[in-house]
Structure 1
Amino acid sequence: MLRTSLTSLAQWVRYLPLWTALTVVRWRSFEQRSRGLGTTFAAVMRWYPPAARRFDREARRVFPDMTRRERATLGQEMGRQMGRTLFEIYHDAEFQTRHQCFRASGPGLDALKQAQAAGKGVIVVSGHFGQSEAVRAAIKMHGFESGAVYRPHKNRHYERRIRAGIEAGGKPILATGHAGTRGLVRHLRAGGIMSILLDEKYAEGEAIPFLGHDALTSLSAAQLALKYDLPMIPAYGTRIEDGNVFRVEFEAPIPHTDSLTMTRAFNDSLSARILASPEQWYWMLRRWDGQ
């Protein structure tokens, strides 16, 4: 009982700074609160050495010729993007209604509509790039709803808020693991849409190049697409203009070949997005093996 109480207290202490940052500006507009949390996270990346060192290690792997000062600037901008993204997830119910902010296009959107018209499920694959919730918002704008797969947070305070936010963007919301996989299969076979972020390290995955370095990557999305003959569509919500507008691009479905080739095609797709806008990817994922 004492250990449980101490764990709960420690989790609350870790959550308190974010809770405070979100609470003290509740009276301000959505855009002002979003920018405010972005500024806070940019400051963390500048003044909190453990976070700065972790980012520098990851960025140096991909950009060895970039100066340390340039990487530090990139890290602060990533923090700004990360803070805004987290704010939008926490307030996803409001975020999803901001239709004027989402500019959706691309051949994958037509493929999604065609699959839905035929009663087929769709797998939308993305990463921790820009704002993935903008992709689900764009899907909802076009009359559909996308569930999502997510990895539960160990801190129950973060977990409660993040799950509630993601659920506001569409259902079902399925945690990683065997039970979640069963629910995912049922939803897809029933003709549903599921969004999956494929850029987290997966210990049982295959080593596939990502940003020029092998990274353990799950093949499950491609395996499901092949098994149930479903389109696997890469989609990204890139921040543009003042950061309050999103260019949501649905790329053409990845051709059905084999799960390894298809997953590598996705890694190449996401890598190209990151190299074009590196500040918009969450570099703190410990993405590569051996860490």
Structure 2
Amino acid sequence: MTAPEPGRGGLRDIVMNAALGGAIRIALMIPYRARVRAFGWLTSRVIAPLAGHPQRIRANLAHAWPDLPESEVRRLCRDVPDNIGRTMIEIYSGEAFSRHIAATVTPRGPGMAALDAAQQAGRPVILVSGHFGNYDAVRVIVARRGYRIGGLYRPLNNPLFNAHYLRAMERIATPVFPRGRRGLAQMVKFLRAGNTIALLVDQYYNGTVLEFFGKPAPSAISAAEMALKYDALLVPTYAIRQPDGLSFDVVVEEPVPPSDPVTMMQAVADSLEARVRAHPGQWLWVHRRWKPELAGRDVRAETDAPC
């Protein structure tokens, strides 16, 4: 799993990091609901424009959704950073976020029965989602239902931010595994023991080319490969932010039928695309998901594995 990453290097990024760190510390002093609203507004109106997020959002929309009306593009340039800010401070809120979700969310969906049956049978489960809504709300709900759920995360480049981010994630549910050879090995061992892991699979990875929004989207297919190898359920899950900006509708879809890894991960990509089309302001359009300028180049070392 990943958090919105503060900048690094250069005077501009140093100033931005200091300002963002100060804003987070102040926000954590105020009541939970007020801090989530305030940090969403601050990110949308101040931080995102300074970081150049509207330009990235426009570039991604022009590539993947070119027929979107300009009025909708302008709205997304506000709504996407608002969701980013809310998600960031929710995760940094750790235990307060966990309590809020547990008190306000009841999961639903056709995959719930399969999920519960897998837990009772000790069968491994791989929950897959994207940077959509607040993906960590799913970890809260699953942990509260008695599952042992682990997450794979990419450590932030800034160690000060990362230390607090890691503590907050661990307050939501443990274990969490850092991306890398050792973390991956620990995660696989945890999965093979009949536990549940949560992965975000919507980042660029120079592996198999899937289709996302009708465009080539180089992707990792390791989630499906693990599901087949360890007889694990592969289950798309989503935490959809509701109109009040604070509550969520947690949906567990039917497990993806086992076939081959490419077919299975294309089904996951299609599932996520449907959710993003229904709630476009809740996906991380600042991600460089497609990178069309890198088509045909081997840039595996430059990219992120699924988190």
Fold match (TM-score > 0.5) = yes
The 2-side partners of 1:161 and 1:26 are apart by 12
Alignment pair present for 1:182 and 2:197? no
Deviations 1:94-133 (A, max 9, x none): 1111222223011222212111111111100011000111
Compute the displacement of 1:234 (Å): 0.4
Q: Which aligned runs of 4 or more in structure 1 are off by greater than 6 angstroms?
A: 6-11
Gaps of 5+ in 2: 1-7, 294-307
CA pair 166-26 structure 1, distance change in 2 beyond 3 A: closer
Q: Which residue number corresponds to residue 275 of structure 2? A: 273
Deviations 1:130-189 (A, max 9, x none): 011110111122122311011122121222222222222222211222222211210011
The 2-side partners of 1:259 and 1:46 are apart by 36
- Choose the corresponding residue for 2:247, options 245, 248, 263: 245
Q: Which residue number corresponds to residue 121 of structure 2? A: 118
- Choose the corresponding residue for 2:30, options 11, 28, 31: 28
AA aligned opposite 1:177 = G
The 2-side partners of 1:157 and 1:69 are apart by 38
Are 1:123 and 1:231, in contact at CA under 8 Å, matched by a contact in 2? yes
Q: Percent identity?
A: 34
Q: Which moved more, 1:209-218 or 1:41-50?
A: 41-50
Compute the displacement of 1:10 (Å): 8.3
Alignment pair present for 1:157 and 2:168? no
- Choose the corresponding residue for 2:137, options 126, 134, 137: 134
CA pair 128-188 structure 1, distance change in 2 beyond 3 A: same
The 2-side partners of 1:86 and 1:159 are apart by 12
AA aligned opposite 1:170 = A
CA pair 49-154 structure 1, distance change in 2 beyond 3 A: closer
- Choose the corresponding residue for 1:77, options 79, 82, 85: 79
Compute the displacement of 1:26 (Å): 3.9
Compute the displacement of 1:54 (Å): 1.2
CA pair 135-62 structure 1, distance change in 2 beyond 3 A: same
TM-score by length of 1: 0.92
Compute the displacement of 1:69 (Å): 4.2
Compute the displacement of 1:11 (Å): 6.9
TM-score by length of 2: 0.87
How many residue pairs get matched? Answer: 285
Q: Which moved more, 1:136-145 or 1:208-217?
A: 136-145
Q: Which residue number corresponds to residue 98 of structure 2? A: 96
CA pair 233-44 structure 1, distance change in 2 beyond 3 A: same
Q: Which residue number corresponds to residue 205 of structure 2? A: 202
